[in-house]
């Protein structure tokens, strides 16, 4: 009797599983549709685009639009493509991500292993940075950057991103280090390691998953940021996102959809790359922090 | 002269006084065990000696030098933690060598030192592995290696065996004992396990609620506990505590047990003061001093034969623990394993009063 029951329930489970997979596939297709339109449009010629069928595969795929977007498209008045802005973004993202991750790790280390009176309040205040609407800080920040002579510079943008990234990076590392055994720090102290030695030799080498999480999170956020980019930079110092906007929004001449789409793909490539390389650590690290935090 | 002195150590955390003035002296080469129930402050005291948790007041003196303000790494101590605290990102070799590396010891010298310690602990084949690839016992050994390689003045052990299974615990316990016997190291060892304390220590300190209850050799602590707490805490099964009254019939002091019409036994020789008639006392008897009548120590001077009802029989293989009940009071006796005893039976127990102790129920202290 129990055998028949098992078969029935196994059959039920299988049906449910088919249903779940079907739903997941449909949702994945819906999600991927814009990407498909982007890619296929960027490979079509302008005539074909004007032909109308957005979902059709390109009849005669060509990377001409990609070449144009990279090196010839007009952004504002200069027609040298988006490559300069792409490098602007790289020059902004790499230091901003590295500095904010490192400082977040140091903060997390101090907040969990070198507790001082008021450490909870301090952490609470740092968390605030995660919830401040960025629009609210634009004007004061512009003023601060102006005072230090950093307006319209990549350095200025790096500083802004480091400051507003610290809340999240500190949160990540604090929760991760909270679960890190205190006894290891004590043992290292008795062994004669100082504050920074313990950090470099004991904690950081054990922080792989959370470093990956933080880097992905910070990289995506900073690369995709538009608000700070458009507020604190102008002209040729703009990051990629601002340039993309300027390219798409420029109203002179013919609207080159294929070039716009190719530029958008360029803008999305680095974050895609980071996810593909490090994505599987992402969920793992997030969970590790979340469960024990 | 004592090698390690703990002078009036107090520690307050918030309004909570965790250590209430601890005084301990330890000679070079001794094995001190701090024992007590959880929350008694033994780990706090160990951390204070290590310098990881500075005391609120008091002095810690190692080899004549006050170390209160010295950083843990400068006290020349080594500590073995309950969780072993092996650095997970380093190999066994790097773990053991880390302290030497931090002290700027040359690489060749470091390697030689690690090799020697690994040989002593028989972990040479594990040197290239990481802690995650080791079993509990192996980790424990590496943790000891990390302490040994430093050749410190004092070793501190914080419940090092509590994460091991029962069999391994006995093995490693013996290894620690052998290590102490071979190296004559000065050791301070924290545990809540009274058997560990008895087997390892040359000197035991029993702590309760931040106060020293008794300091002494294992034999002193076991045979002449200072108060009811120590008597109850040390020894398994626990000491029998029988309520009684002093009664001085026939010009000889004795104790009436088991209620008014119970049994009168002679005053144990451990009591030399004369007590007023009718005073309430508690008679403490280790289970091994109550036996079946056939096992009475022929050397015993004061014995009593008491019949009581048998309510429980627990054979351990080597002995059998028999619980007797008389007038509402129960006691545990340790009898031969081949003794014939049945539940509910009236069984003749032999009480050996030579080793009995008497406590004052008001102060809980032992009466001498």
Q: Which of B186, B129, B193, B205 is nearest to B164 (CA)?
A: B193
Asked if residue A248 and residue A106 are part of one domain, the reply reads yes
- How near does any CA of chain B get to the CA of A286, in Å? 20
Tell me, what's the pLDDT at B32? 93
Asked if residue A142 and residue A6 are part of one domain, the reply reads no
Q: How many CB atoms lie within 10 A of CB B102?
A: 17
Chain B 328-347, CB below 8 Å of chain A: which residues?
Answer: none
SS3 B339: coil
A234: CATH: 1.10.3720.10
Q: Which of B342, B339, B351 is nearest to B312 (CA)?
A: B342
pLDDT tens digits for B294-351?
A: 767 777 777 888 888 899 999 988 889 999 888 778 899 998 888 888 898 888 888 8
Average pLDDT over residues B251-272: 73
| CA-atom Rg of chain B in angstroms | 25
CATH 3.40.50.2000 fits B240-367, yes or no: no
* Domain interval for residue A265: 83-292
Asked if residue A270 and residue A232 are part of one domain, the reply reads yes
pLDDT, chain A, mean: 84
Asked if residue A37 and residue A152 are part of one domain, the reply reads no
Number of structural domains, chain A? Answer: 2
pLDDT tens digits for B156-173?
A: 999 888 888 888 888 889
Instruction: Report the residue from A189, A193, A201 with minimal CB separation from B52.
Output: A189
Asked if residue A239 and residue A136 are part of one domain, the reply reads yes
- Asked which of A156-165, B28-37, B184-193, B249-258 is least confident by mean pLDDT, the reply is B249-258
**Does A194 map to a domain?**
yes
Tell me, what's the pLDDT at B68? 87
State the Cα angle at B258 between B352 and B221, rounded to 5°: 45
Q: What is the ipTM of this complex?
A: 0.79
Rounded Cα distance, A187 and B80, in Å: 8
| Contact call for B99 and A205, based on CB within 8 A | no
State the Cα angle at B76 between B70 and B80, rounded to 5°: 110
Residues of A in contact with B79 (CB under 8 A): 186-187, 190
Q: How many CB atoms lie within 10 A of CB A131?
A: 7
- Give percent of chain A above pLDDT 90: 26
Segments making up each domain of chain B, as ranges: 4-233, 240-367
Residues of B in contact with A189 (CB under 8 A): 52, 71-73
Place of tokens 């003061």: B273
Q: Which of B178, B161, B77 is nearest to B122 (CA)?
A: B178
Interface test with B, best of A190, A204, A209 (most B CBs within 10 A): A190
Q: How many CB atoms lie within 10 A of CB B276?
A: 7
Strands B240-247 and B211-216: unpaired
| Contact call for A206 and B89, based on CB within 8 A | yes
Residues of A in contact with B89 (CB under 8 A): 202, 205-206
Say which DSSP state B329 is in. E
Question: A202 — contact with chain B (CB < 8 Å)?
Answer: yes
pLDDT tens digits for A261-278?
A: 888 888 888 888 888 887
Q: Which of A245, A271, A261 is nearest to A75 (CA)?
A: A245
Rounded Cα distance, A214 and A209, in Å: 9
Tell me, what's the pLDDT at A251? 61
Asked if residue A92 and residue A17 are part of one domain, the reply reads no
Asked if residue A261 and residue A190 are part of one domain, the reply reads yes
- How near does any CA of chain A get to the CA of B156, in Å? 11
Asked if residue A211 and residue A100 are part of one domain, the reply reads yes
Would you say residue A286 has pLDDT above 70? no
- How near does any CA of chain B get to the CA of A220, in Å? 29
Asked if residue A180 and residue A91 are part of one domain, the reply reads yes
CATH 3.40.50.300 fits B4-233, yes or no: yes
Number of CB pairs, chain A paired with chain B, less than 8 A apart? 55
**Does A67 map to a domain?**
no
Q: Which of A102, A97, A104 is nearest to A270 (CA)?
A: A97
Q: Which of B314, B315, B308 is nearest to B344 (CA)?
A: B308
Query: What are the E-state strand segments in chain A?
Result: none
Rounded Cα distance, B368 and B357, in Å: 8
């Amino acid at each position: 009797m129990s055998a028949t029951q098992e078969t029935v329930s196994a059959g039920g489970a299988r049906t449910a599983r088919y249903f779940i997979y079907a739903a997941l596939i449909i949702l994945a297709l819906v999600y991927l549709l814009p990407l498909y339109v982007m890619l296929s449009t960027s490979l079509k010629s302008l005539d074909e685009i004007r032909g109308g069928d957005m979902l059709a595969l390109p009849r005669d795929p060509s990377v001409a639009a990609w070449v144009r977007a990279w090196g010839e498209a007009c952004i504002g008045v200069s027609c040298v493509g988006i490559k300069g802005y792409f490098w602007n973004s790289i020059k902004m993202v790499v230091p901003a991500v590295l500095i904010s991750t490192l400082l977040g790790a140091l903060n997390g280390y101090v907040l969990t292993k070198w507790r001082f009176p008021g450490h909870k309040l301090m952490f609470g205040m740092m968390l605030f940075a995660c919830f401040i609407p960025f629009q609210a800080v634009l004007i004061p920040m512009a003023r601060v950057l102006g005072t230090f002579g950093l307006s319209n510079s990549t350095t200025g943008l790096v500083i802004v991103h480091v400051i507003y990234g610290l809340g999240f990076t500190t949160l990540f590392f604090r929760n991760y280090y909270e679960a890190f055994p205190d006894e290891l720090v004590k043992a290292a102290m008795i062994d004669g390691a100082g504050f920074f030695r313990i950090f470099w030799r004991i904690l950081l080498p054990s922080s792989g998953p959370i470093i990956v999480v933080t880097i992905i999170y910070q990289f995506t956020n900073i690369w995709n940021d538009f608000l700070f980019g458009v507020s604190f930079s102008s002209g040729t110092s703009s990051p990629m996102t601002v340039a993309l906007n300027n390219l798409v929004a420029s109203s002179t001449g013919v609207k080159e959809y294929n070039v716009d789409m190719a530029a958008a793909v360029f803008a999305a490539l680095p974050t895609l790359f980071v996810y593909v390389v490090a994505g599987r650590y992402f969920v793992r690290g997030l969970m590790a922090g979340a469960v024990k935090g | 002269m004592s090698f390690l002195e703990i002078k009036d150590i107090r520690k307050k955390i918030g309004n909570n006084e965790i250590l209430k003035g601890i005084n301990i002296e330890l000679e070079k080469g001794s094995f001190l065990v701090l024992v007590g129930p959880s929350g008694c402050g033994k780990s706090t005291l160990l951390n204070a000696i290590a310098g990881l948790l500075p005391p609120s007041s008091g002095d810690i003196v190692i080899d004549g030098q006050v170390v209160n303000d010295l950083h843990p790494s400068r006290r020349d101590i080594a500590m073995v933690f309950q969780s072993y605290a092996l650095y997970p990102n380093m190999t066994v070799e790097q773990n053991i060598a880390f302290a030497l590396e931090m002290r700027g010891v040359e690489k060749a010298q470091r390697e030689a030192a690690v090799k020697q310690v690994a040989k002593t602990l028989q972990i040479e084949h594990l040197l290239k592995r990481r802690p995650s690839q080791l079993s509990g016992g192996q980790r424990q050994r590496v943790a000891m290696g990390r302490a040994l390689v430093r050749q410190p003045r004092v070793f501190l052990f914080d419940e090092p065996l509590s994460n091991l299974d029962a069999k391994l615990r006995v093995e490693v316990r013996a290894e620690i004992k052998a290590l102490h016997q071979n190296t004559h190291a000065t050791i301070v060892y924290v545990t809540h396990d009274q058997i560990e304390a008895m087997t390892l220590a040359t000197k035991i300190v029993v702590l309760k609620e931040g106060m020293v209850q008794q300091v002494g050799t294992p034999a002193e602590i076991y045979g002449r506990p200072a108060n009811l707490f120590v008597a109850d805490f040390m020894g398994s099964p626990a000491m029998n505590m029988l309520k009684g009254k002093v009664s001085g019939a026939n010009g000889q002091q004795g104790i009436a047990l088991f209620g008014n019409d119970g049994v009168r036994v002679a005053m144990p020789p451990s009591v030399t003061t004369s007590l007023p008639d009718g005073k309430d006392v508690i008679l403490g008897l280790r289970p091994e001093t109550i036996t079946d009548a056939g096992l009475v120590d022929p050397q015993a001077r004061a014995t009593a034969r008491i019949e009581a009802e048998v309510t429980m029989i627990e054979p351990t293989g080597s002995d059998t623990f028999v619980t007797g009940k008389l007038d509402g009071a129960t006691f545990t006796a340790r009898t031969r394993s081949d003794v014939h005893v049945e539940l509910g039976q009236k069984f003749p127990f032999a009480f050996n009063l030579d080793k009995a102790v008497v406590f004052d129920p008001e102060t809980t202290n032992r009466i001498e």
